[in-house]
């Protein structure tokens, strides 16, 4: 279990949740960049809110796997 990997995932989850909130509140475009992974940039618009929620669930699943917390797999409902 790498502390750096856990902190990176926690940061990405926080950014993605903030982006989800901003989209839900009416912002038209959100851009997330993950510097730790090079030039990994993702853009989200209100139409892609379900995909963003799926992305958050995947990040949370990876975090749970790294920390050993939680044994259930997420259910994706679109």
Q: Over the stretch 19-78, which tens digit does the pLDDT of each residue have?
A: 888 888 888 778 777 765 556 777 878 778 888 899 999 999 999 988 887 656 666 776
The CA-based angle 40-41-45, given to 5 degrees, is 150
Q: What is the pLDDT of residue 72?
A: 61
Report d(CA 53, CA 61) in Å as an integer.
12
Tally of domains within the chain: 1
Structure tokens belonging to residue 28: 């038209």
Task: Report the CATH number that the domain containing residue 29 is assigned in CATH.
Answer: 3.30.1580
pTM of the model: 0.70
Instruction: Give a yes or no: residue 77 inside a domain.
Output: no
Q: Is 49 in contact with 56 (CB distance < 8 Å)?
A: no
Residue 57 C-alpha from the chain's centroid = 7
Instruction: Give a yes or no: residue 32 inside a domain.
Output: yes
What is the rounded end-to-end Cα distance, in angstroms, of the chain? 32
């Amino acid at each position: 279990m790498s502390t750096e990997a856990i902190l990176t995932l926690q940061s990405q989850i926080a950014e993605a949740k903030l982006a989800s909130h901003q989209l839900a509140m009416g912002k038209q475009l959100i851009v997330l960049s993950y510097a730790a992974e090079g030039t990994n940039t993702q853009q989200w618009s209100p139409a892609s809110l379900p995909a963003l929620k799926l992305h958050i669930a995947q990040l949370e699943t990876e975090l749970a796997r790294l920390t050993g917390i939680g044994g259930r797999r997420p259910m994706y409902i679109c």
